[in-house]
Homo-oligomer: A and B are copies of this chain.
Amino acid sequence: MNAAQQKETWFGQAVRRLEDDALLRGKGRFVDDIHLPGMLHAAFLRSPYAHARLGAIDTAAAQALPGVVRVLTYQDLRPLLTCDRIPLAMPSGAIRFDVDPFVLARDEVCHVGEPIALVIAESRHVAEDALGLIGVTFDPLPAIVDPREGLKDGAPQARLDCPDNLVAQMSAAYGDVDGAFAGAAHVIAEDFHIHKGGGHSIEPRGLVARFDAGEDLLTVWDSTQMPHQAKRVLVRTLGLAEHQVRVVAPDVGGGFGPKFVFHPEELAVAAAAVLTGAPVKWIEDRFENFMSTVQERDQYWSVEAACDAEGRLMGIRGTLVHDHGAYTPYGVALPYNSATNLIGPYVLPSYRLDIALSLTNLIPSTPTRGAGRPQGTFVMERLLDRLAERLGLDRAEIRRRNLIQPAQMPYDSGLKTRDGGSMIYDSGDYPQCMARALAHAGWDGFEARRAKARAEGRVIGIGLSNYVEGSGRGPFESASVRIGPSGKVVVTTGAAAQGQGTVTMLAQVVADGLGVRPDAVSVIAGDTAASPLGLGAFASRQAVTAGNAAHQAAGEVRAKVLKVASQWLEADPEDLELSAGRVHVKGVPGRGRSLGEVASALAGLPGFALPPGTPPGLSAAVDYQPKGMTYCNGTHVCEVEVDPATCIVSVTRYVVVHDCGRLINPMMVDGQIIGGVVHGLGTALYELMAYGDDGQPLTCTYADYLLATADTSPRIEVHHMESPSPLNPLGVKGAGESGTIAALAVIASAVEDALKPFGVAVRDLPATPSRLFALMHPDLATPEARL
């Protein structure tokens, strides 16, 4: 910030991120920057098989290696634990049997990379050397890699300890969908597949755990999105009380979903710290990250869409087979999100999706940015493109005919939420949003550009996608605002920051309430000792939940300042204002007191009275409970050029019009949208976590697994609309994931548009050159083209 940024209000300003000064100077404190005296280092022995019975484990040679402190297996850790599995984070009645992961493999290994043993040594090098000295007997078993295969009669079991491979079965449905199909003018049917991929944060997972026997306190610095959930699991599994466990998320180098999940390694390292009495560090390396950090997105859809003669949707029905991986740390939220997100910004009178969650011998599936929603949007938008083609309509026109109108807001989609309530969109102007995006992108002029390109021998296409994202999920988030005699403003919150600007966002909100600059506000996020209650980072929720909690808490502190000051200054509270860290008579900065002086009086002195009528402490704590989900929305339009010889896709233009209600910091929202789009571009064009038929991962380096990078990403134009949410005082909605949600659909739409002359229909992503080549030249395609 500079002096010119001293504004009347900070809300809505592109304040520079308070986080960045330390990060850019290398002063960040990530887990690996934590060096505790006497700290030991952990390395995990992992399964080389996708499925095998686990025989004897011989640790003697490893244990004998100089520098090795302990070699730990399931049998060593079990006595410390109240239960041998990591409890299901989000229970659901649809789950048919217990498939929670073990702290370390017990009787069988069910995916490549599953942790089997843990070496604690004086250095990571020694620990890794010791891994090679552990002898394990495996009895290999058949592996399930395709979730559809596992559901077939007579399929091998992905896990011997489960009755079958059908983890859960459920439906999302409303309206008379069969009746709709019976009366439809047009019906289309399609199969879609969305592939497996990961979160790929710059910083992999990692933690340092320290058990202080004198204080009976386990402290865990964990690169997590959910320190409170991590604490809850540790309390339960280690049989401790809540005050005996502190989890801190220090600087976290990206979450993107996988760090929402508490992995077995986190429990194993914490238990090892309790067992050895020494601090233990484990930092996941990139190879481990590919093999053991949760992933998502593998889904197989078979769907039909029905519409009337004008292209108005009448119903969608079909089935979804969802790859659940080998364990269930999370529940059924992913396919649920896919199913609900399909509806998008459209009037869909009837709907039924039957969902099967299939156990496989792959890494467990849990949310990655978008959390099932990109798949739902992909399917709906692909169906609309197909219907447009069937009816001979412009792809924008068929959408225009189906969009929910602003006058219909708040709009009840017809779906029920997990709580039994209704899925109701709170606000938004979808037609205007799409119209603006089309205008910015020059949709109507595209055919002229295509003609020009063709004349030049270039193949180009354009695509569009609308989407809606339910954001700001509850049930609550905590924030407190506290000023001590130092006069410094401290915000504590159960929200957790992983680089998305949570600190700056909260500082802006609180600065407005207290008449201070944002850089005068210290924010402690992600520390369970600072905030007894909290949930953390998921579902693009923290601006809505923690933002409104901090806003309300700052307002309560402000009211207390005014009350005390009005006594001292003998002035009506309405004649006072807060600015520059002081409360003073309006327009008379000299006639006032500092916030520190007010706080000092309220901190209490032995035997001296507090200011009359005011409880002690200049603070307020608020657990903000949202009334309902806030639904942000947007339209993406992109143009691509495809080299018909190499099938390489270049994204030449990318326009986003996004509406997440009132913007707290437009620059940070831009960052979220752009980052989300790039994440989606990776999913659409590059990233593919490939497995062999035996369940061996084939792409465990960034040479094999391609990420979208700066040189392959286009300039992304972001335009904002602001339809305030009526559900919260700040009028804000979430924005963290929405960039990703439409990117898959819009790229598919554009690539298909470009390659339609070659007979290409995009039903699978990523649209890699080899896949596109196979679609263009089915006669020449090799089996590897499926990659």
**Residues in chain A within 8 A of chain B (CB atoms):** 29, 33-34, 36-38, 89-91, 214-215, 228-229, 232, 235-236, 240-243, 333, 418-419, 473-476, 478, 482, 484-486, 488, 490, 492, 522, 524, 529-530, 532-533, 535, 538-539, 603-610, 615-617, 619, 623, 625
Write out the residue numbers on chain B whose beta carbons fall within 8 Å of the beta carbon of A606: 89-90, 229, 473, 535, 538-539
- Which of B529, B532, B608 lies in contact with A90, CB distance below 8 A? B608
| Chain B: CB-nearest residue to A476 | B616
Bound-complex Cα distance A203 to B38 (A): 30
Contact A625 B610 (CB under 8 A): yes
Q: Nearest Cβ in chain B — how far from A28, in angstroms?
A: 10
| Chain B: CB-nearest residue to A607 | B473
Write out the residue numbers on chain B whose beta carbons fall within 8 Å of the beta carbon of A38: 37
Write out the residue numbers on chain B whose beta carbons fall within 8 Å of the beta carbon of A89: 605-606
| Chain B: CB-nearest residue to A231 | B484
Q: What are the 10 A-B residue pairs with the smallest beta carbon separation, nearest first?
A: A37-B37, A242-B484, A241-B488, A533-B617, A419-B609, A476-B616, A243-B490, A475-B604, A475-B610, A29-B214
- Which of B524, B535, B609, B610 lies in contact with A604, CB distance below 8 A? B535
Q: Taking A29-B214, A89-B605, A603-B232 as contacts, is the C-beta distance between A532 and B474 under 8 angstroms? A: no
Which of A215, A524, A538 has the most C-beta atoms of chain B within 10 angstroms of its own C-beta? A215
Write out the residue numbers on chain B whose beta carbons fall within 8 Å of the beta carbon of A615: 476, 623, 625
Q: Taking A29-B214, A214-B29, A606-B535 as contacts, is the C-beta distance between A616 and B475 under 8 angstroms? A: yes
Bound-complex Cα distance A261 to B182 (A): 86
What number of copies of this chain does the assembly contain? 2
Contact A617 B623 (CB under 8 A): yes
Q: Taking A240-B486, A522-B241 as contacts, is the C-beta distance between A607 and B232 under 8 angstroms? A: no
- Which of B34, B333, B530, B533 lies in contact with A603, CB distance below 8 A? B533
Write out the residue numbers on chain B whose beta carbons fall within 8 Å of the beta carbon of A608: 90, 418-419, 475
Write out the residue numbers on chain B whose beta carbons fall within 8 Å of the beta carbon of A610: 475-476, 625
| Chain B: CB-nearest residue to A600 | B232
Contact B242 A532 (CB under 8 A): no
Contact B418 A29 (CB under 8 A): no
Q: Nearest Cβ in chain B — how far from A54, in angstroms?
A: 31
In the complex, besides A232-B485, A243-B530, A539-B606, 17 extra interface pairs with C-beta distance below 8 angstroms are A29-B214, A89-B605, A90-B608, A91-B605, A241-B488, A242-B485, A242-B488, A418-B607, A419-B607, A474-B604, A475-B607, A532-B617, A533-B616, A539-B607, A615-B623, A616-B625, A617-B623
Write out the residue numbers on chain B whose beta carbons fall within 8 Å of the beta carbon of A478: 616
Q: Taking A29-B215, A615-B623, A623-B616 as contacts, is the C-beta distance between A604 and B533 under 8 angstroms? A: yes
